[in-house]
Amino acid sequence: MNINSNSYVLGFATCVCVGVSTALALVANGLKDLQTAAAEFDRQKNVMIAAGLCAADDERSQADLKTLFEDRVTEVVVDTQTGEAAADVTIADVKLFRSDAMRDRYRVIATTKDESGALEAVVLPISGKGLWSQIYGYIALESDVDTVRGITFYKHGETPGLGGEVENADWQDQWRGIYKGAQTDVRKKILDDEGELVSIALKKTMGTERDKHAVDGLAGATITCNGVTDFLLADLEALAAYLDKLRNS
């Protein structure tokens, strides 16, 4: 056998490629369930982070956090066209949707209850285009369905140190009315004094801790800030009918 011949080199390279590809496919297939479970746990944890049930660096075990989620969080699929819970669409269905129209129509909304069983927070999924990527997060509202309780962004591909600062815990604290480590007397709200939806904007101005409808923007990340401002308003508008029903109830 001439190991220097073209046919031998091509045959050897083909065998290596096929062997490695097969091994990677088998490993990926074998780990698929674990990856899916890990992604779902990460999503559930971020719901709880936004609602203030746990911290990003919470040291409790995964089993304890899962139990906390089961005890305190209830999720429902909402039809944005009607503002009602969707009777014939499950949470699993929403995850499988491939059509943008279906994804836009149905949203998985979480509510949390306190230890007495009373409504504590409403957690809404938010997502949209930043500069380089789709940004995913959750915003939680207090039981008045107006005052912001917390926010988290958990998946994006924005520039580290610029748009990627949407993950910065100190910046996220502003949404809870905490400015430079101190609780202010101004909480962020999505409704104006007349009860109209105005959302919350990212503004590059000093002192927005005194503006209940704005937080400080991220330095050097204008497009990311504009994206967050735009998709937050769009998601709140899509869920306006459902949120109105919650307030009235």
Q: 7 in a domain, yes or no?
A: no
Q: Which residues contact 225 (CB under 8 A, 6 or more apart)?
A: 163, 202, 204, 217, 218
Number of domains in the chain: 1
In this prediction, residue 1 carries a pLDDT of: 62
For the chain, list residues with pLDDT below 50: none
In this prediction, residue 214 carries a pLDDT of: 92
Q: Tell me if 213 sits within 8 A of 196, measured CB to CB.
A: no
Name the residue range of residue 187's domain: 28-248
Amino acid at 163: G
Q: 177 in a domain, yes or no?
A: yes
In this prediction, residue 206 carries a pLDDT of: 58
Task: Pull the structure tokens for residue 21.
Answer: 């590809």
β-pair partners for 173 = none
In this prediction, residue 227 carries a pLDDT of: 94
Q: 21 in a domain, yes or no?
A: no
Q: How many residues does the chain have?
A: 249
What are the tens digits of pLDDT across the range 127-148? Answer: 999 999 999 999 999 999 999 9
pTM: 0.84
Q: 5 in a domain, yes or no?
A: no
Q: Which residues contact 246 (CB under 8 A, 6 or more apart)?
A: 122, 145
Q: 14 in a domain, yes or no?
A: no
In this prediction, residue 68 carries a pLDDT of: 93
In this prediction, residue 153 carries a pLDDT of: 92
Q: 187 in a domain, yes or no?
A: yes
In this prediction, residue 29 carries a pLDDT of: 74
Residue 112, H or E segment: strand 106-113
**DSSP states of 186-232 as a string?**
---BSB-TTS-B---EEE--TTGGG-TTEEEPPTT-HHHHHHHHHHH
